[in-house]
Structure 1
């Protein structure tokens, strides 16, 4: 009986091998490994915009002497995104034509005198905004407050000056901006025998380069 049993077991095993081969899934094909060529990437050198230099032109109104043209130079350093410091040199023409109608010889010599000022100020940027040029383009803008101290020289006198005001900066590009500034220069003036503190507003339009 044992040889018969061994024979039957061998037949059963032989019959099960083809069925097992049929149920075994074929091996998966090896996926294609892409060949990526690595290259050296040169990081861009982004320009620093901490410094700002610019020219400005506008009008300067000297109390009791009317309004004349003004021009000057500004240099600023941006400490943070909110705070900046600025030095400004400016010049304006002053005329005493109105006084010459009443006082012989006027009050300043000659009839048209130059006013020079130098200020060191601190500014604070308010919330940024945008200026829309049509439906496809918008320029970033910045509204700021500014104030500081300096000196003013006029008709042989030199006086300490405080300036307060605000401005609006429009960025044409990352490096170029247009500025509109409105400031009041406060300094004492003695031209009529009495020393008075005067208010002298200034409105200017300027262009700045940031680097």
Structure 2
């Protein structure tokens, strides 16, 4: 055996030994990997349905409101008041309201530069008893992340108004938009028309006095 042949045999033997060692190592790694448990994580795809706040067991609302009152032949001024509401059923409600506004001088008074009423007669006060019927119901989206139970009520009632030296029976017609942001509070936006017969400057006339207000109420 010559020198070249001997070297080739030695080199071939070395390659075979290295190949066997690598195969053994790979086999061990594969065996270890197969022995390790594989954990599969399955995400929870359930989406909880949103539950908007509603009026459930509560029957009464006690609240306060602020808005603007436009008095016939006079100006538009701030009005404030309190309300007590009783929910007879889901569709019907009864409501008592007491409101007050101090009316500013009319345009004709400014032109004449004279007051046609005594100081106390510029106070417009009313007490009303009205009923409401729910004509629409649904959800209001007041933000990008929330929806709230809401309803629109048609209002009608009677009351008493004191203004310009008069104390007279009155009628009321209106609409109330009501939202329930939580299970203990409601917010209302009301438009009302107070109708009553008023005697002023020796003239008796049927007047319409429009009111727009927003209120916050506590449920109990």
TM-score (norm 1): 0.74
In structure 2, what is the equivalent of residue 125 of structure 1?
Answer: 134
Q: Which moved more, 1:95-104 or 1:150-159?
A: 95-104
Q: How many residues align?
A: 166
The structure in which a higher percent of residues are helix is 2
Is 1:152 equivalent to 2:186 in the alignment? no
Match of 2:207 in 1: 198
Aligned residue number for residue 40 of structure 2: none
Of 95, 103, 109, the match for 2:118: 109
Aligned to 2:47: none
Give the Å deviation of 1:191. Answer: 1.4
Contact kept? 1:99, 1:107, Cα under 8 Å: no
Tell me the equivalent position of 1:49: 58
Determine which of 85, 88, 91 is the counterpart of 1:79.
Answer: 88
- Residues 31-46 of structure 1: matches in 2 within 5 Å? none
Residue 143 of structure 1, CA deviation: 0.7
Pick the structure with more strand per residue.
1
2:45 aligned with 1:59: no
Whether contact under 8 Å (1:128, 1:143) holds in the other structure is: yes
Moved more, 97-106 or 160-169: 97-106
Cα drift, residue 66 of structure 1: 1.1
Structure 2 length as normaliser, TM-score? 0.71
Aligned equivalent of 1:18: none
In the alignment, is the contact (CA less than 8 A) between 2:193 and 2:209 conserved in 1? yes
In the TM superposition, residue 106 of structure 1 has moved relative to its aligned partner by 2.2
Q: Distance in 1 between matches of 2:116 and 2:218?
A: 40
Q: Give distance in 1, aligned partners of 2:168 and 2:108.
A: 22
